[in-house]
Amino acid sequence: MLLAIDVGNTNTKFAVHDGQSWRGQWRASTDSSRTADEYAPWLTQIMGLSNLGFDQISACIISTVVPQALFNLRNLSRRYVGAEPLVIGEPGVELGIDVRIDKPSEAGADRLVNAVGAYIDYGGPAIVIDSGTATTFDIVAADGAFEGGVILPGINLSLQALHDAAARLPRVEIRDPGRVIGKDTVSAMQSGIYWGSIEMIEGLCRRIRQEYGRPMKTIATGGVASIFEGAFPSIDHFDQDLTSRGLLEIFRRNGGKL
């Protein structure tokens, strides 16, 4: 089986694939100081709920936007999986796609993995929207190439900034308040973040399509995306497995077998 690890700025996702299907997927808060020996008991316990164990895993692939986390996760793979992990972005790890931007080395590992995952299931051209610490819009060409995109602060980051910068604004739950015009501070903030995010995403998708000049599918993924499912006319698919599927495909493209 394959252990696929996707390290984001806020959360780290662990997923296990048996060659036919995903057997389990779990999230933990990203902590670059957490050692391999601290990860192992947590993973042992949570995988056990799905009747899985390290003795069934033979390979590991890692994508990270937090370089400091890589050392401990590499050790996790070496000690507990018994395999040297494939790491996205390292020499010799082939993605199988062109990166058509001015500085290819600046493309985040997560964005490239998402492009691979989106193209496998949905083809291109496509817009991939990933809602996490940052919200990213990534362009996948008709041949699967990564062609750039848009980066802006994520929804939780925007809410945190409001709370930190304005003494009287509380932390609030992200949800549809039921109306646009808030009647108190909490509902006004919820309206702003919920409907403001929807209008921002709809507007950027419209502008991207106009600039690209061709019909494009739109796929949404990421930890916050499910909150907005059904609220976006312009989004064709909500897919929480997109990054994991991209990691699986890259593993296979590099000769991995399960």
CATH code: domain of residue 156 = 3.30.420.40
**Distance separating alpha carbons of residues 125 and 230, to the nearest angstrom:** 22
CA angle 5, 11, 17 (to 5 degrees): 30
**pLDDT exceeds 90 at position 257:** no
**Distance separating alpha carbons of residues 71 and 85, to the nearest angstrom:** 11
- Catalytic residue numbers read 110
**Claim to verify: residue 187 and residue 142 sit in the same structural domain:** yes
Single residue among 87, 119, 145 that ends a domain in this structure: 87
Torsions phi, psi for 245 (to 5 deg): -65, -35
Instruction: State the pLDDT at residue 63.
Output: 95
Single residue among 42, 57, 87 that ends a domain in this structure: 87
**Claim to verify: residue 180 and residue 233 sit in the same structural domain:** yes
For residue 86, what are its two tokens? Answer: 């494939």
Q: How many residues does the chain have?
A: 258
Mean pLDDT of the chain: 91
Strands (E), the chain: 2-7, 11-17, 22-29, 59-64, 86-87, 126-131, 134-140, 146-153, 217-221, 237-238
**Distance separating alpha carbons of residues 187 and 238, to the nearest angstrom:** 26
Instruction: State the pLDDT at residue 160.
Output: 81
- Asked if residue 97 belongs to a domain, the reply is no
Claim: this prediction has a pTM higher than 0.85: yes
**Claim to verify: residue 67 and residue 155 sit in the same structural domain:** no
**Claim to verify: residue 124 and residue 164 sit in the same structural domain:** yes
**Distance separating alpha carbons of residues 53 and 118, to the nearest angstrom:** 29
Instruction: State the pLDDT at residue 171.
Output: 80
**Claim to verify: residue 147 and residue 210 sit in the same structural domain:** yes
Domain assignment of residue 237, given as a range: 104-245
**Claim to verify: residue 215 and residue 129 sit in the same structural domain:** yes
- Asked if residue 95 belongs to a domain, the reply is no
Least confident of 52-56, 147-151, 181-185, 224-228: 224-228
**Claim to verify: residue 9 and residue 82 sit in the same structural domain:** yes
Neighbours of 180 (CB within 10 A): 12
Q: Which residue has the higher pLDDT, 232 or 59?
A: 59
**Claim to verify: residue 52 and residue 137 sit in the same structural domain:** no
Q: Which residue has the higher pLDDT, 195 or 127?
A: 127
**Distance separating alpha carbons of residues 158 and 198, to the nearest angstrom:** 14
Instruction: State the pLDDT at residue 49.
Output: 93
List the one residue out of 79, 76, 154 whose CA is nearest residue 110. Answer: 154
